[in-house]
Amino acid sequence: MCSQFKMIEKTDKTREIEETESEFGYKGLHLDLKLDDERKILPEYVGFGDQQFEVQIRTIVQDAWSEVDHKLKYKKEIPSDIKRRIYRLAALFELADQEFESIKDVSNQYTETASSAEFDEKSSNLNIFGFIRVAKDKFPGARFGLVGVDTLEKLVSEINDAKPGIKVDEFRAYLDRNLAAVDEYREYLSSIGNSMNPYTRIRHCLYKENNNVFGHLIFDGHRKNFDRWLKHGTVFPNEIQ
């Protein structure tokens, strides 16, 4: 962001709070900016060339606390017992923010481990890490990790329930054989205003591989539409979910 604007002033309210031993409160990064010389001559920005503006960068938790903090500033007098409760709450907000950041870091580490770990796909049963390894290969840029692990665990569990003992290389082969067709179907759905996320595309690949084994992995309406598209190149509009 700063490479496209002129920095007037930077106020790191997060550092101001975290460098103290006993203070809790509003945290965020405030940037006072102006358009840089190249951007301000563009036709769409001509009227804003010398205008200064502020960008506030906060996490979701910091933004939630900012709403509380803003209202408190307009209270002239707050009883001491209420103030103590407010400070305790502010500390909990800070702890929650740190935990979210820590979980994200651990999730990224697990994802990297799954991608780089040495193991034999032919002899390894499909688990979360094997799933991530294959999925990251097939869906570059998509996010598969322990954030949103409930969705990931659910699908891996469903696959194993449907085909006990399935190996990682079998799972990879199913995607190899069927992803191109599923992505053609995805493009067709996109043309009529619908979309398919990576998990849904994987479910359709498995269904196409063996609809008797994996048929329950997709909804009835999705199954009817996919079957019709495979045969006729169209879907039942009323069945789109």
Q: What is the pLDDT along the chain (241 residues), one digit of tens a residue?
A: 566 788 888 888 767 666 665 555 567 788 888 888 887 778 777 777 778 888 888 877 777 777 766 666 556 677 777 777 777 777 787 787 777 777 677 666 666 665 555 668 898 899 888 898 899 899 988 877 654 567 888 999 999 999 999 999 999 999 999 999 999 999 999 998 889 999 999 999 999 999 999 999 999 999 999 999 999 998 876 655 4
Does any domain span residue 111?
no
Same domain for 97 and 206, yes or no, is: no
Q: Indicate if 141 and 235 belong to the same structural domain.
A: yes
How many domains is the chain built from?
2
6 touches 21 (CB < 8 A): no
The domain boundary residue, chosen from 104, 133, 149: 104
10 with 92, same domain: the answer is yes
Q: Does some domain include residue 110?
A: no
C-alpha span between 157 and 159 (Å, rounded): 5
Query: In angstroms, rounded to a whole number, what is the distance separating the alpha carbons of residues 10 and 29?
Result: 8
From residue 59, give the alpha-carbon distance in Å to each of 34, 56, 105, 147: 23, 10, 15, 16
Q: Give me the pLDDT at residue 58, please.
A: 80
- The rounded distance, in Å, linking the Cα atoms of 135 and 115 is 10
Residues 90 and 158 in one domain: no
Q: Are residues 124 and 214 in the same domain?
A: yes
* DSSP state, residue 167: B
Domain assignment present for 219: yes
- Judgement on whether residues 88 and 165 belong to the same structural domain of the protein: no
Same domain for 97 and 124?
Answer: no
Report the C-alpha gap between 22 and 41 in whole angstroms: 47
Q: DSSP state, 125?
A: B
Specify if 113 maps to a domain.
Answer: no
Residue 112 lies inside a defined structural domain of this protein: no
Q: Is the pTM of this model over 0.75?
A: no
CA torsion 15-21-23-27 (nearest 10°) is: 20
Half-sphere exposure of 234 (CA within 13 A, CB side): 4
Q: So what's the pLDDT on residue 180? A: 97
Identify the pLDDT of residue 227: 94
**Residues 172 and 223 both lie in one domain:** yes
**Could you say which of 82, 104, 126 is where a domain stops?**
104
Domain shared by 25 and 64, yes or no? yes
pLDDT for the residue 151:
84
Note the helical H segments in the chain. Answer: 13-18, 37-40, 60-72, 80-116, 128-138, 149-162, 168-191, 198-209, 211-214, 220-232
How far CA 144 is from CA of 97, 124, 132, 198, 222, in Å, comes to 22, 19, 6, 9, 23
Structural domain span for residue 53: 2-104
Domain final residue pick, 104, 139, 155? 104
234 and 129 part of one domain: yes
Both 150 and 204 in a single domain? yes
Residues 128, 94, single domain; the answer is no
